[in-house]
């Protein structure tokens, strides 16, 4: 097993919220949107105070103004990473939005099998969970994929799991969750892919070796395409992430995600999200599921 790291949220001592002026809030709004694409609307002042006050106190700083100067000082990128860790909302669960997994089983996997049998597709698929939080989404994808294309079936699958939050990503890497999280996992998959913790891991559930073998992890900022993995990915899950972005940043990220799909690939967004703002042509094939639309051939009229 990997070396143990803390399973707690970034812990900082101190008590009570610090006051935040309008000017300070505006500075953080600009910083967070520039660095991570995240839009902090006026209603997010309490969130910022709630999540950062302890950190500011722990550093021995007297105000948010002082923290802003600290976090933006040259050479203090590590603090910026830590600040973004605190501001990210990491809520997730296994097999969230189960219709998406049903779509894989009923539409995508049979299509892959048919195309592979006709020699139209290699039996190798890459999948990207972009904004994977603590791992429930990419491990759900890995379970679904391995249940249909098990090792030895001739198929090779890889699930790339990325997030901005280093804290969430480390938890995803560990593949260890409280057993209560198992409630969302279909029983046969729970039996086949998860291990029950014993002794010091009593009350915990751990991803088994088959799952771990197909997962890769990386810190990727969806607001900065320069650091993105190269495509193509047959499936991209980017659910409940861009909902926190400003409109312009969201549109740019969506376009870049669509460019990483092959013509047969699918992009999955969260239930409250759409492709609004994206400049790339795409078509909706089921609620919140999209395919990239190939550009029309020269001379052809657009539909
Ligand atoms: C609400 S969780 C969604 C997790 C999962 N996709 C799901 O639907 O259950 C949103 C995740 O997006 C991540 N996130 C926020 N801004 C990001 C950015 N600029 N780049 C990459 N990930 C980001 C957060 O750290 C968080 O883990």
Residue 137 has pLDDT above 60, yes or no: yes
Which residues does ligand 1 sit against, CB inside 6 Å? 36-38, 88-92, 96, 131, 133, 137, 163-165, 168, 221-223, 239-241, 244, 270
pLDDT of 163 > 70? The answer is yes
When pLDDT is cut at 50, 70 and 90, the band that residue 5 belongs to is very low
Per-residue confidence (pLDDT) for residue 298, from 0 to 100: 62
Give the model's pLDDT for residue 204: 96
Which residue puts its alpha carbon closest to atom 11 of ligand 1?
131
pLDDT at residue 6 tops 70: no
Report the interhelical angle of 45-58 vs 64-71 (nearest 10°): 80
The overall average pLDDT reported for the chain is 92
Give 302's pLDDT tier (boundaries 50, 70, 90).
very low
Q: How many whole angstroms from 164 Cα to the centroid of ligand 1?
A: 7
Burial of 141 (0-12, 13-18, 19+ CB in 10 A): buried
Mutate to test the pocket of ligand 1, among 10, 36, 88, 96 (most ligand atoms within 8 A of CB): 88
Domains of the chain: 22-87 (1.10.155.10), 98-292 (3.40.50.150)
pLDDT digits (tens, 9 = 90+) for 246-257: 999 999 999 999
Residue whose C-alpha is closest to residue 225's, from 267, 246, 254:
254
Segment (H or E) for 286: strand 282-286
Q: Average pLDDT, stretch 218-222?
A: 98
* Prediction pTM value: 0.92
Q: Give the percent of the chain with pLDDT over 70.
A: 92
**Placement of tokens 């090779």 in the chain:** 156
Place of tokens 């969230």: 96
- Token duo for residue 93: 């669960």
Catalytic residues: 51, 163
> Residue 3: what pLDDT?
33
Question: pLDDT tens for residues 292-301?
Answer: 877 666 655 5
Residue range 211-232: mean pLDDT, rounded = 97
Query: Between residues 126 and 16, which one has the greater pLDDT?
Result: 126
* C-alpha 239 to ligand 1 mean position (Å): 8
73 C-alpha to center of ligand 1: Å? 26
Whether 4 has a pLDDT exceeding 70, the answer reads no
Both structure tokens of 5: 């790291």
Report whether 155 contacts 149 (CB < 8 A). Answer: yes
Q: Judge contact between 40 and 47, C-beta under 8 A.
A: yes
Pocket mutation for ligand 1, best pick of 131, 162, 227, 270 (most atoms within 8 Å of C-beta): 131
What pLDDT is attached to residue 16?
Answer: 75
- Rounded Cα distance between 246 and 33, Å, is 7
Extract the tokens encoding 196.
Answer: 């029950």
What's the DSSP call for residue 107? Answer: I
> Please, are residues 233 and 265 in contact by the beta-carbon 8 Å criterion?
yes
Q: How far is the CA of 111 from the centre of ligand 1 (A)?
A: 29
Once rounded to an integer, what is the mean pLDDT over residues 199-224?
96
74-76-80-85 Cα dihedral, nearest 10 degrees: 170
What's the rounded Cα separation, in Å, for the pair 233 and 213? 18
Contact predicate 140/214, CB 8 Å: no
DSSP state string for 129-157: EES-TTTHHHHHHHHHHHHHS-TTSS-EE
Residue 81: CB atoms within 10 Å: 17
pLDDT digits (tens, 9 = 90+) for 37-48: 999 999 999 999
For residue 165, which atom of ligand 1 is closest to its CA? 25
Among the residue ranges 10-14, 122-126, 258-262, the one predicted with the least confidence is 10-14
Residue 201 has what pLDDT?
87
Secondary-structure breakdown of the chain: helix, strand, coil percentages, each rounded to the nearest 5: 45, 15, 40
């Amino acid at each position: 097993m990997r070396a143990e790291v803390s399973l707690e949220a970034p812990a900082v001592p101190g008590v009570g919220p610090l006051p935040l002026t309008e000017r300070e809030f505006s500075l953080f709004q600009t910083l967070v949107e520039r660095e991570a694409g995240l839009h902090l609307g006026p209603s997010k002042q309490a969130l910022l105070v709630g999540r950062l006050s302890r950190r500011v106190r722990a550093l021995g700083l007297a105000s948010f103004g002082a923290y802003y100067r600290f976090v933006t000082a040259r050479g203090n990128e590590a603090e910026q990473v830590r600040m973004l860790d605190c501001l990210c909302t990491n809520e997730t669960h296994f097999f969230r939005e189960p219709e998406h997994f049903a779509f894989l089983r009923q539409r995508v996997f049979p299509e892959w099998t048919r195309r592979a049998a006709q020699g139209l597709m290699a039996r190798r698929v890459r999948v990207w969970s972009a904004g994977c939080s603590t791992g429930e989404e990419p491990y759900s994808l890995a379970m679904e994929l391995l249940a249909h294309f098990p090792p030895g079936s001739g198929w090779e699958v890889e699930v790339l799991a990325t997030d901005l939050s280093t804290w969430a990503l480390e938890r995803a890497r560990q593949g260890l969750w409280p057993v209560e999280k198992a409630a969302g996992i279909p029983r046969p998959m729970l039996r086949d892919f998860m291990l029950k913790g014993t002794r010091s891991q009593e009350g915990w559930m751990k991803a088994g070796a088959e799952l771990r073998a197909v997962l890769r992890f990386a810190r990727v900022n969806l607001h900065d395409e320069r650091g993105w993995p190269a495509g193509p990915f047959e499936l991209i899950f980017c659910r409940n992430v861009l909902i926190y972005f400003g409109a312009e940043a969201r549109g740019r990220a969506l376009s870049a995600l669509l460019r990483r799909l092959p013509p047969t690939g699918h992009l999955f967004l969260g239930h409250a999200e759409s492709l609004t703002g994206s400049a790339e042509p795409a078509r909706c094939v089921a609620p919140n599921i999209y395919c990239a639309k190939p550009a029309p051939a020269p001379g052809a009229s657009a539909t």
